[in-house]
A and B are shown apart, each in its own frame.
Chain A
Amino acid sequence: MGRELDTVTRQDPELLRRLLRAKDRMTAKPHEHWPVRRLAKISGTCEAHFARSFKRAFGVPPHRFLLTLRIERAKALLSTDPGTITEVALACGWTSLGTFTRTFGDVVGQSPSTYRSTARPVPPCYSGMPVCFAKASARPQLEISVSEKRRREALG
């Protein structure tokens, strides 16, 4: 049984390295548009297999991973950037203010404007810890999809 499970979960390291490349590219530019076709091309996989391979490798589907990056970026901008909420939404890759506000609220538990009024910027007082690692540690963990989270909360 255990042996069977192992052969199911194993992934070719060479494929994993290429999937990591797609993950890196999203991480570098989360505000860009990332259709599966683009991600699959970076990974050298076919579109049909990309999402499943990515989820198996990293534990989350690619677009939910992208969402965590966008939320992380939105939180950072809301606490440091004087731009309007719409400008923050656009800068993070959302195309509508409504979708941004609803998704942000679902994930963070606060509206963007409430978050902005209470958040303090990530300060340089992580002295000794590179900011890039501090940033990554602020990323939300989305073990379940946003729609599932919404559904569970609605059920109380």
Chain B
Amino acid sequence: MSSGIGVVGIFVHDQEAARAFYVGKIGFEVHTDIQNGPFRWLTVRHPEQPGFQLGLFAPGPPLHDTESERSLRELVAKGAMPGLVLHVADCQQEYERMLAAGVEFTQEPTKRFGNIDAGFRDPSGNGWKMIQLGEPSS
């Protein structure tokens, strides 16, 4: 694909912990992990979505001053960042796999209007909905 969205980032409190979570527990792959002075560029991708990278960025220098960094860290920890959505083929199966891996679920799989969704958070506080889309009616 020659055009489209390439990277969208989220803030995490600790990039090492985030990498362990998204790769080790969720099942994403590392796309890029480069340390450049105090700045670490870390992105992961879904194995079935090679063209889209999720950036796992830590607030702090050189991009943020001390006050901004503290505000961002507070907001992330309070769960105030935008919700994220992960589509899965089998919500119950993924729930059981991820629960066994130690993922913190905020909502068990629930059927709603033909879809099944569950909720979890990453160690930083970012909230995800995991949705299995039902068969489209008609």
Question: How long is the Cα–Cα vector from A131 to B83 in the complex, in angstroms?
Answer: 13
Measured between beta carbons, the chain B residues less than 8 angstroms from A57 are: 78
Task: Kindly supply a per-residue 1/0 record for chain B positions 65-87, scoring 1 wherever the CB is within 8 Å of any chain A CB and 0 otherwise.
Answer: 00100100110111100010100
CB–CB B74/A28 < 8 A: no
Number of A-B contacts (CB under 8 A): 55
Contact across chains for A58 and B78 when beta carbons are under 8 A apart: yes
Contact of B106 (CB < 8 Å), options: A16, A28, A133: A28
Q: Is the interface of A mostly helix, strand, loop or mixed?
A: helix
User: How does the 8 Å CB contact mask read for A4-25 relative to B, with 1 for contact and 0 for none?
Assistant: 0010001101101101110110
B104 to chain A: closest residue by CB: A21
Give me 18 A-to-B residue pairs in the complex whose CB atoms sit less than 8 angstroms apart, sorted by A's number: A10-B70, A13-B13, A13-B77, A16-B74, A16-B125, A17-B13, A17-B123, A17-B124, A17-B125, A20-B121, A24-B106, A24-B121, A124-B114, A130-B83, A130-B117, A130-B131, A131-B112, A131-B117
Give A106-128 interface residues, CB cut-off 8 Å to B: 124
Range class of the B interface residue count: 20 to 34
Given A132-B119, A133-B83, A20 and B112 touching (CB < 8 A)? no
